[in-house]
Amino acid sequence: MENYILNDGFAIPKVGLGTYGLRGELGVRQIETAIQSGYRLIDSAYNYENEGIVGKAIRNSGVSRDQITLTSKLPGRYHEYDKAMIAIQESIARTGLDYIDLYLIHWPNPKEDKYVEAWQALINAQKLGLVRSIGTSNFLPEHIDRLEKETGVLPAVNQVETHPNFNQEAQREYDASKGIITEAWSPIGRATDMMSNDLITEIAQAHNKTAYQVILRWHIQRGFLPIPKSGNYQRQRQNIDIFDFNLSEGEVAKINSMSHEDGRQKDQNPAEYQEF
Ligand SMILES: NC(=O)C1=CN([C@@H]2O[C@H](COP(=O)(O)OP(=O)(O)OC[C@H]3O[C@@H](n4cnc5c(N)ncnc54)[C@H](OP(=O)(O)O)[C@@H]3O)[C@@H](O)[C@H]2O)C=CC1
Ligand SMILES: O=C(O)C(=O)[C@@H](O)[C@H](O)C(=O)CO
């Protein structure tokens, strides 16, 4: 697996496994198969109620702990400093591991306006060794500017919705200007209409790859870090088998051109959406 280097010096795999909806003992087995297939970055969140099974899969995997990057995320209801510190410790305890590699603020919840306080807690948790790297999710440039101005500390990653219908080029440019890696959530658009898109199907046929492999390759060639979710062994393998071909600049540009202003998931604009 190829890596990006974060602004705090740690390496992070270029593709990760999304785990929203993977739960229970079946979830443990699904995450174990992903690790056996080569995944070394696992994305979880307090609100997915699966930190326990993700931790169990990592502990069962036989892969050494320091080879795996585990992400979790702080929910909106815990943005106050003291609550955030407890929530981080609860996340770690549920995993059964000693630390979490990457901890993100899940949503900025700008109407509550407590995300700077939450960020102070993540900074302190990093100093205490509870979490290795810290970052944000669904943060717009204005939110990151405030973190920088009020704390002087920038996120290592910013995880945002990105897929061909919503390519986030402006956000990526902003993140890159601050040394932040942009992770892509819903990177294959939740597998809805992408397969039937003629443009992507044509490119896929030219490379003898699936439409989803082309989309995931497109993310990487643009400098994004996609975290596709699959509970299925074969699809998990397909989603990381994307390092043996290159899209041309023209193909990348064609996929970029699919993006449109209202291409994001419904009601997921971080300027408005509140998640607790
Ligand atoms: N920070 C945030 O606010 C958010 C973060 N996330 C994170 O991002 C991850 C990924 O996003 P998500 O919304 O799950 O959407 P994805 O774009 O990853 O799509 C997941 C869906 O695609 C299917 N799928 C996966 N691979 C293939 C394939 N190769 N061929 C056909 N179908 C496929 C999966 O089904 P199957 O499992 O059956 O293969 C599932 O139904 C989440 O799981 C979560 O970890 C998601 C939303 C918001
Ligand atoms: O899955 C996540 O990480 C979320 O933040 C979800 O809330 C997601 O955005 C969603 O589907 C909300 O309906």
Q: Is 26 exposed, middle or buried (0-12, 13-18, 19+ CB in 10 A)?
A: exposed
- Class of the 3-188+225-232 domain? alpha beta
pLDDT in tens, the chain (276 residues): 899 999 999 999 999 999 999 999 999 999 999 999 999 999 999 999 999 999 999 999 999 999 999 999 999 999 999 999 999 999 999 999 999 999 999 999 999 999 999 999 999 999 999 999 999 999 999 999 999 999 999 999 999 999 999 999 999 999 999 999 999 999 999 998 777 889 999 999 999 999 999 999 999 999 999 999 999 999 999 999 999 999 999 999 999 999 998 999 999 999 999 999
The complex scores an ipTM of: 0.98
Ligand nearest to the CA of 190: 1
Contacts of 90 (CB under 8 A, 6+ apart): 46
Contact yes or no for 194/211 (Cβ under 8 A) = yes
- Say which amino acid occupies 226: P
C-alpha 148 to ligand 1 mean position (Å): 31
Q: 11 is written with which tokens? A: 């390496």
CA–CA distance, 255 with 34 (Å, rounded to integer) = 28
Q: Report the C-alpha gap between 102 and 121 in whole angstroms.
A: 14
Q: Is 48 a catalytic residue?
A: yes
Amino acid symbol at 147 = L
Does residue 233 have its Cβ closer than 6 Å to ligand 1?
A: no
Site of tokens 């502990």? 59
Q: What share of the chain is helix, strand, coil (3-state, %, to 5)?
A: 45, 15, 40
- Separation of CA 140 from chain center: 15
CB 108 near ligand 1, within 6 Å: no
Q: Are 143 and 115 in contact (CB under 8 A)?
A: yes
The answer to whether the CB of 190 is under 6 A from ligand 2 is no
Q: In this structure, are residues 233 and 37 in contact, taking their beta carbons and an 8 Å threshold? A: yes
The confidence score (pLDDT) of residue 173 equals: 98
pLDDT at 205: 97
* Closest-approaching ligand to the CA atom of 266: 2
Indicate the top mutation candidate among 49, 264, 265 to test ligand 2's pocket, ranked by most ligand atoms within 8 A of CB: 265
224 ligand 1 Cβ < 6 A: no
State the pTM of this model: 0.98
Eight-state DSSP code of residue 222: T
Decide whether any atom of ligand 2 lies within 6 Å of the 157 Cβ.
Answer: no
Catalytic one of 39, 46, 48, 78: 48
Among all bound ligands, the one having the nearest atom to the CA of 195 is 1
User: Strand ranges (DSSP E) for 87-243?
Assistant: 100-105, 131-137, 157-161, 181-185, 225-226
Looking at ligand 1, which residue's alpha carbon is closest to its atom 36?
230
| Buried b or exposed e, range 200-215, using 16+ CB within 10 angstroms | beebbeebebbbbbbb
The whole-number pLDDT of residue 169 equals: 97
**Pair of tokens at residue 76:** 């909106």
Distance 163 CA to ligand 2 centre (A): 15
Q: Give the residue, by CA position, lying nearest to ligand 2 atom 12.
A: 268
Rounded to a whole number of angstroms, the distance between the first and last alpha carbons of the chain is: 34
The residues, ordered by sequence, that sit 6+ positions from 32 with a Cβ below 8 Å of its Cβ are 57, 60, 61
Is residue 233 within 8 A of residue 172, CB to CB? The reply is: no
Domain ranges for the chain, please list them: 3-188+225-232
Strand partners, 132: none
Interval between CA 48 and ligand 2 midpoint (Å)? 9
Ligand 1 proximity of 185 Cβ (cutoff 6 Å): yes
Contact 182, 206 (CB under 8 A): no
